Each structure stands twice: as C-alpha cells, then as structure tokens.
Amino acid sequence: MSSGTSVPTAEPLSTTSSERRPRVRRSSSSSRPVSTSVGVSGGVSCCDRSAVTVGPPGPAGRTHHSPSRLGAPSQRCFPVAGGYHRPAMDTRQHGSTHVVRLDRGEPVIASLSAYLGRARILGGAVVGLGAVADAEIGCYDPERREYDRRRIPETRELLSFVGTISRLDGRPFLHAHVVLGAPDHSVLGGHLFEARVAITGEFVIQAAAIASERQYDEDTGLKLLRFTAPARPRPSRPRAAPRRRSP
C-alpha cells in the first residue's frame, strides 16, 4: 500500500481537440490537489490513499477509483472487471468478535491474514460465506506428501469457509477449508490456498487468547497445530452443603 507521502499536480496535456486538460481542485479536508479528470491518472499511483481518480479502465487494463464521495480516500486497489473499484475491506469489532467484509476483487487469504496481523490476533477461528473466483484448492496426499491442487477460475458460491488461526514464524497464520457450489448445484471443496472475491465476502473472526503455533511434523510432512502452553485446569467448584429441613 502506498503511503501517499506526495501527490503530484496533474500535468497539463497537449491542447489538441481530442484531449482535455484535467481540472485540479483542493480538497476541503486536505491541502493536496485532487484530480477530477476523467480517464486521466495524472501520474498518481492507483493505490495512493489520497488519490481519487474517476474513470473507465486506462491503458493496459488499469482501473481507477470510483468512491461514493469525491475526495474520500481509497483504502486499497485491486483490478476488477468493469473498470471501477469499490472501497476495500470494511471491519467492525465488538469484544473478541470481528466482522470483516471483503469486496469484489480482493484476495481472501491475503486480506484476512493482513487484518489478523493489524488486529494482533494470534489465535481463534474464522467462518465465512460469499462468492469467489480464481480459487485454488487442494487435497493432501499423505503418500506423496504433497497437495493435489486444482484451480477454479469460474465464479463459485462460497457455501462454507472455516479456518483456524495460529502462529507461524511469529505471525498470524490462517488455515482454511472451503466448500464451493457450482451453478448445477454440485459442490467441491478442500484446503484453500487463495481465491478472489467475485461478489462479496462476509467473515466472522472469533479471537481467542490460546497460545498455539504451527510446527513441522515428520510423520505427515505438514506443519500441524501445536499448543505452546499447558491447558489451564478448570477450577473445582465447592459442593454446596445440603439444606437442613426445618422440623
């Protein structure tokens, strides 16, 4: 993600009949210039948080921001069909429960993993649903000690997304399985390596303060979940004294 430290003013274009000079105005919330030209990037990076450029896809499939309010900063940038980009991930939190909404074009595993890192969630579980495309799933073969991978480029319903959160090399690690539904109502599932949101993605994260990490297992060839702290014994409740009946 670009830090947006400097945003250059749109350069004047040649004054031919087929080109228009971009209009540049000052945003009310910032002294930085904001280009309001159509179809002109003005030299601003597509992922610059302070850049707002509205228009159809540019050269080489570049897309531009189309925020609901001109001047609203974009969060992230992903190429999407149709030429317009919606604001990226939106989140809410209440206690240990986090709700994450991903928009069209966002990578599921990468986006959720980035949020886990920002929220410092090192343990817990994730569930979700929605619709995805360009999914890569796999089924582990213990004999060959490798995954049989399959890529599904078409859009599929994300019927089920379940995952566990642990640590790997000191960072949050998301291990997720999915069930994908086809238009003929057939289903396919497996370990999810990555997928991109096709319509929307809705996920609920339940954070848990349980110390666990991924450690390599010689027998399976996988990095399995291991608890790094002993389980806490449940406190025993004192038995209530029997009530005496009054004579």
Q: Answer whether 46's CB lies under 8 Å from 105's CB.
A: no
Q: What digits encode the pLDDT tens for the residues 187-237?
A: 999 999 999 999 999 999 999 999 899 999 999 999 999 998 776 666 667
Is the confidence at residue 164, as pLDDT, over 50? yes
DSSP 33-75: EEE--BS--TT--TTBTT---B-S--GGG--EE--SSTTPPP-
Q: Answer whether 166's CB lies under 8 Å from 173's CB.
A: yes
pLDDT at 233: 67
What pTM was estimated for this model as a whole? 0.62
The domain ranges of the chain are: 20-85, 90-227
Q: Say how far apart CA 155 and CA 137 lie, in whole Å.
A: 14
Which fold is adopted by the domain 90-227? 60s Ribosomal Protein L30; Chain: A; (3.30.1330)
Q: What digits encode the pLDDT tens for the residues 23-58?
A: 444 444 444 443 333 333 333 333 333 333 233 333
- Of the pLDDT bands very low, low, confident and very high (cuts 50, 70, 90), residue 108 is very high
Q: Answer whether 115's CB lies under 8 Å from 214's CB.
A: no
